[in-house]
Amino acid sequence: MKRRTVVLGIRGIGALAAGAALLAAPGVRAQSPYPDHPIRLIVPYGPGASADQIARKFAEKFGRAIGQPVVVENKPGGSTAIGFNAVASAPADGYTMLFSSASVAVYNPVLQKNLPYKVDDLTTIALLVDVPLNLLTNTQTPINSISELAAYGKSHPGELRYSSAGIGTSTHLAGEFLKQTLGIDLVHVPYTGNAAAMVGVLRNDVQLIFDAPAPPLPQIKAGKIKALGLGSAQRQPLYAGVPPIRDAGYPDFEAGLWYGVAINRNTPAPVLQTIHGAIDTVLADPDFLREATDTWGAVPFKSMSQQQIDTHIQEQKRLWRSIVDKAGISLD
């Protein structure tokens, strides 16, 4: 067999020499496949909170799925703006992600015209779990169901009060949604945080509260609080026998706080594809799903396309903007 001889002209030899010199130059290398070093997950809430617990479980599972450690960094403050802006200002390379929420992408934008961050700088690329907000009352009230609440509220206007974790929080908005849905007059009493709001209910300073499924369970078991209805569309394993609020004749009612993942909107498509694949693995992980339902009382999302995610967020914005406008709530 004859050997083939390749003859290079002056340009060909020069190009090869230049390429070799470039590869040999200090600090210059071929781009490594993503990811080749640890990923940062910024959580815009304090350590120990329920959001932080969910974020850390996700980080553990996501890290295994994508093949790199995921470092959780808590950056609370500024109505989530500090954490959000830390991600927005990072390179769009897929190594810095935000553990986002409905507060970041929906509630804050409809409550504030002058947000301390540009919500469009990041794209929500995944919805992980939805934590329902359930309606609770203390055992000193004669109310035991949503229908009884509606009847009592209409015959005793302005007498019932509900607590929240503060003005503009998800628990405040859920209370306003209930008020508008049932057509009753409820007085809002804002507290500083969920714990203080629950104390107000236990003391009967206020009679109603919306809360996530897991935190009130000890008080329910102790016979101090009772659940009137669920904020989810379906029943919950942690609240056997308690129906969703919508089952009482209010099919449009649903209240909760979803958590997801957001990333710089300019992140390259191949990187996004890798991230999506790892997130889909987490959303199908039996251990993650079990912890979501049995520990947090959350409803896991199924894998969604970007268009489905964008549509969901826009629909939520329209819903909550109408509720906020009717109630006259603003954080500006």
Amino acid 15: pLDDT: 40
- Kindly give, in sequence order, each residue whose CB lies less than 8 Å from that of residue 79, ignoring residues fewer than 6 positions away: 103, 108, 112, 116, 331
Q: What are phi and psi of 33, to 5 degrees?
A: -60, 145
Residue 61 CB-half CA count within 13 A: 23
**Domain segments of the chain as ranges:** 39-130+256-327, 134-248
Which among 180, 317, 171 is positioned nearest to 255, based on CA atoms?
171
Q: Side chain identity at 87, as an amino acid letter?
A: V
The pLDDT score that the predictor gives to residue 49 is: 84
Give the domain 39-130+256-327 fold.
D-Maltodextrin-Binding Protein; domain 2 (3.40.190)
Asked, colleague to colleague, whether 39-130+256-327 and 134-248 share their fold, the answer is yes
Task: Give me 325's structure tokens.
Answer: 């406008």
Burial class (CB in 10 A: 0-12, 13-18, 19+), 64: middle
pLDDT of residue 31: 61
Q: How confident is the model at residue 332 (pLDDT cuts 50, 70, 90)?
A: confident
Mean pLDDT of 146-166: 96
Q: Over the chain, what is the mean pLDDT?
A: 91
- Rounded mean pLDDT, 148-167: 96
pLDDT tens per residue across span 29-75: 446 799 999 999 999 999 988 899 999 999 999 999 999 999 999 99
Averaged pLDDT for residues 241-248: 96
User: Which range among 101-105, 112-116, 145-149 shows the weakest confidence by mean pLDDT?
Assistant: 112-116
Task: Check whether 11 has a pLDDT greater than 50.
Answer: no
Q: How far apart are CA 73 and CA 207, in angstroms?
A: 37
Please classify residue 145 by burial: count the beta carbons closer than 10 Å to its beta carbon, then call 0-12 exposed, 13-18 middle and 19+ buried. Answer: middle
Quick: pLDDT tens for 309-328: 999 999 999 999 999 999 99
**Please, which residues have CB within 8 angstroms of residue 228's CB and are 6 or more apart in sequence?**
135, 136, 137, 143, 144, 145, 146, 149, 208, 242, 245
Q: What is the pTM of this model?
A: 0.87
The pLDDT of residue 8 is: 39
Separation between Cα atoms, residue 165 and residue 231, nearest integer Å? 17
Strand order in the sheet with 256-264: 70-74, 39-43, 96-101, 256-264, 122-132, 299-300
Tell me the residue type at 159. Answer: E
Amino acid at 96: T
Identify the band that residue 10 occupies on the pLDDT scale cut at 50, 70 and 90: very low
pLDDT digits (tens, 9 = 90+) for 180-235: 999 999 999 999 999 999 999 999 999 999 999 999 999 999 999 999 999 999 99
Domain formed by 134-248, architecture:
3-Layer(aba) Sandwich (3.40)
State the DSSP string of 186-245.
Answer: -EEEE-SSHHHHHHHHHTTSSSEEEE-SSTTHHHHHTTSEEEEEBSSSS--GGGTTPPBG
